[in-house]
Amino acid sequence: MKSLLIKLLLLLPLLSQAEIYQNILPTDTLGEIKSKFPNANFVKRSPAWAQSTDAMYAITGKGISGTIIINFFDNRPEYQKGYENAVEDAQKQLFEKLLNESEDEAISVNWVRWIPDVPFPLQRLIAKYGNPEKKGFSDDDFQPYREWKKIGLLVYLSDDEKNVQRIDFSFTKEEYKKAYKKKYNILPDWLK
């Protein structure tokens, strides 16, 4: 019993960590992603649901299995509001500097999607991660899915529910904390 308790305590930190795809982190900017995939093709996408704070890119290329889709968060609309409402010159200058950042500097990863070239058996993910915590059908197109929420995986399946067609990777709060501490050496209020 005691050894079981010790094993469970050792596993606890792993349970809150997301499955990070291709070392793409939540604090990565578009420029940093481009440096991670220097020979890849980047195509900007504009899905119908995108808001002013969304920027999306599809990434393909030799050596990349399938297609990687990254939705980036763009703070520049918020910076514009800050600039317009700033009273002090120092604030205006800061917002102006942030507004003038290039796309490569200004946008950071929100979530990652991987679309494999060929669907593969769901059983592989179950063998790796155990049974999913949730299963159901998406609201928009009734596509079957499985979700491992603790590790940030949402997996969309074929109609027979046997093959994986795409995987959405999201970040856990712990992954955000780790990335912010590593890159900026701070924790924003929303992560405390």
**Residue 42 belongs to a domain:** no
pLDDT at residue 126 in the model: 97
Whether residue 35 lies inside any domain: the answer is no
Per-residue pLDDT of the chain (192 residues; tens, 9 = 90+): 444 333 333 333 444 456 789 999 999 999 999 999 999 999 999 999 999 999 999 999 998 999 999 999 998 988 898 889 888 888 888 888 889 999 999 999 999 999 999 999 999 999 999 999 999 999 999 999 999 999 999 999 999 999 999 999 999 889 999 998 898 888 888 888
- Nearest-angstrom CA–CA distance, 136 and 146: 7
Q: Say what the pLDDT of residue 111 is.
A: 96
Give a yes or no: residue 76 inside a domain. no
Residue 7 resides in a domain:
no
pLDDT score of 18 = 62
Asked if residue 33 lies in contact with residue 187, where contact means CB atoms within 8 angstroms, the answer is no
Domain assignment present for residue 142? The answer is yes
Q: Which structural domain, as residue segments, surrounds residue 167?
A: 122-183
E strands, the chain, in order: 41-45, 54-60, 67-74, 107-115, 120-121, 134-137, 144-148, 153-157, 163-169
**Is residue 82 domain-resident?**
no
Q: Rounded to an integer, what distance in angstroms lies between the CA atom of residue 148 and that of residue 168?
A: 11
Is residue 115, in this structure, part of any structural domain at all? no
What tokens does 114 get? 């991987």
How many domains does the chain fold into? 1
What is the pLDDT, as a whole number, of residue 115? 98
pTM beyond 0.75: the answer is yes
Q: Is residue 143 domain-resident?
A: yes
